[in-house]
Structure 1
Amino acid sequence: MKVEMICTGEEVLSGQIIDTNAAWVANELMSLGIEMQYRTTVGDRLEDLVEVFKYRSQYADVIIVNGGLGPTSDDMSALAMAKAKGEELVENAVWRDHLESWFTKNGRVMAKSNLKQALLPASAVMVDNPVGTACGFRVKLNNAWLFFTPGVPFELKHMFKEQFVPFIQAEFGKGENTQLYKLLTIGHGESSLADTLSALTLPTGIELGYRSSMPHIEIKIFARGNSAIKQLPKVVEEVKSVLGHAVVADNKATLAEEIHHRLYQSGFSLAVAESCTGGMITSQLIDFPGSSSYLQHGLVTYSNESKVKVLGVSPQILDDHGAVSIQTVEAMAEGARALLDNDFALATSGIAGPDGGTDEKPVGTVAIALSTKQGVYSQMIKLPRRSRSLVRSMSAAVAYDMLRRALLDEAVIVDYPSIGRFSK
């Protein structure tokens, strides 16, 4: 089965918004054992939409069309599909009733333009949207079924899981069993990971894939067929053995998710004091519901004065060693942990750039500390020639990994090939 995706919208085409829908759909398809063959992005121009529907439908079996189902004049997916088929738009009475009911239930007056969302190509099969006003539909053109979905991510995800997946399974069958296992790594480049793993002999039906999402590299271990699935646990362990401490999480999207998983309802408490990361460590944890069970406070102590008055860092330490130093970041971590006698505290202080560096401490120099009830661990890392954003995100990842290793009673400080480190 050849599956493609057509993403519509000027704002997507011009880069004004990032197309997270396409990434989500591709990842969901991969988890089903289906690899997307082709993806097209097209603007809100009727002739372009008609052309791409006609052209791609000659090669694909199924095409997910995302966007262009709204009530405004630039939402043209239904009209373009009707023109591609050479047929008229017809009002769908079921969806008109749904629209009127939806607006009444929500205490709103329906604008006349919303009635446009009930107009579908004459041969279309309506696809329900239980959480919005954009009516989905599917149409057969040439070789392909085109499956139209709303651009709103929440609505797309509902329709994909509740409507699209059952449709393709009924139409094309479930196919062979598949299973995907993901390993998250930090501190190693994609090419070096691939070189390291190239020596492995993989069983038939098992493949490795890589996805760079800095500061992480995700390794995908994909098994097709029952025989390969049975061997998957053994292959996972072989990959982890070869990579060692490069692997920081199993089947997690980020290190923040791994830390949340380990701290949630663990009984441990965490405090965070951030300078160069500016709240990034705290914010990523708060993304997960239930983080209040362990996260006591996150402090952005950006200035020296705040480090002194809020965290109790000695002015003498700052005078003697500077804000970006092992001594300062250790004092920050100890001060943050002491405020509520937490089990753990993380602290960062660095030069994210692009300015502010010196010969002794160039841009990309970051000090990170972890305070525990047993002691303090700290390191100074070097992240040269990285953007300000990447310096911050990589620093947060290293801080998370220090905490993760402490929770596992492993060595807190390790070497990462792609991250330099100052000796104490």
Structure 2
Amino acid sequence: MNKKTIYLLLLIIIPISALGQAVEVSPPDFIKTIKFKSNTTQGQLPILKLGEPLVLEFDALNANEEDFYYVIEHFNYDWTPSVLAKAEYLRGLDNQRILEYYNSFNTYQVYSHYKLQIPNIQTRAILKTGNYMISIYDDYDELMFSRKFMVYEDLVNVGVNIKRSRDVKFVAEKQSVDMVIATNSFNFNNPLETINTVIIQNNNLNTSISGLRPQYTLGNQLIYRYVEESAFWGGNEYLFFENKDVRAANVGVQFIDLKDIYHSYLFTNIPRWDRPYTYNPDINGNFQITAIDRTDLDVEADYTMVHFSLLHEELKDKNIHIYGNFNAFAIEPITQLFYNTENGKYEGMIRLKQGFYNYKFVAIDKYTGTLDEGFISGNFWQTENNYKVLVYYRDLGARYDRLIGYGEANSVDISN
């Protein structure tokens, strides 16, 4: 009996509440550049309208042309497993092999590029809105990685406004999200119990805020204007680099070197928490694959070893990590920097595909594992951040959470 079959049996035998919340599984080191594509996004959190195709792509750097298989599962708004049967949310079959892949061409790093699009011949449609997890397995039924995505239907209007924090203690460091859900043609039953919202900053599910209830109703509108509960740390603008030309230094790259593959050495960064805020346009932690003199970036863009460094005294109680959407904001061994006593810098390196990348340095408490995004970069109310609001609805007696609305705003329009 393979592992996928065992997992499906566990869903039947074990009570749903005992399984807890779904967590994304990070890939092994030979799988890189996992990204979703849609009409509007690349390398970002995929929030798709019902009927819009889902496209998942990734590279395998072991040059074995392995077979990979995909499994799709439906979840409740809080990422606990849904009680829906597979046939209720999928038309067709999953647990199928990814058929489309191509080998790299004219690159130092040999890799295979895999592409999965849904709908396809086997999986013809996603039928229900809500939260989903797609898991990728190898030919030995080993889980390689998993990624979350959402499917919504446009049934309510979601107004989003970004305000400075109403808490005077954090007015210079936090941003607050106000929401108005308008229900012109959709009638809610007991919205305090049936409506759930999730607020996401910069496509990062790890720091999302959920479980907020409407504070009051005004006509056909549900109003959310919290003081503390909907506030996020403002953070700072992301640092960035671009290595679209592997043979020459580019934006953020100090110099390059050719070994087994090209190595890109970035300029050394310094802490910014004690410096004045400076507006510096970024893409909010995301990345874009790009390379000059290449026609097909999927297979012609090369991989380089990118070297990061931070000028900082050694910290006894914290670890320093590179943070960004290049790995879905995961804290992993490959993202950790190590202190070099000879030059007084934290240093590390990550193998990344050519492109434009946002990143920042974050601190992790060695004893509690607590993430502090602003420890190195600081927190400023002026920072430009993207916010997404998802509205879920489970009618009385319903068996799953429908995702009925989606709103978005940017703090560039922040007000008091």
Give the TM-score band, short-chain normalised: under 0.3
More strand by share: 2
Q: TM-score, normalised by structure 2?
A: 0.23
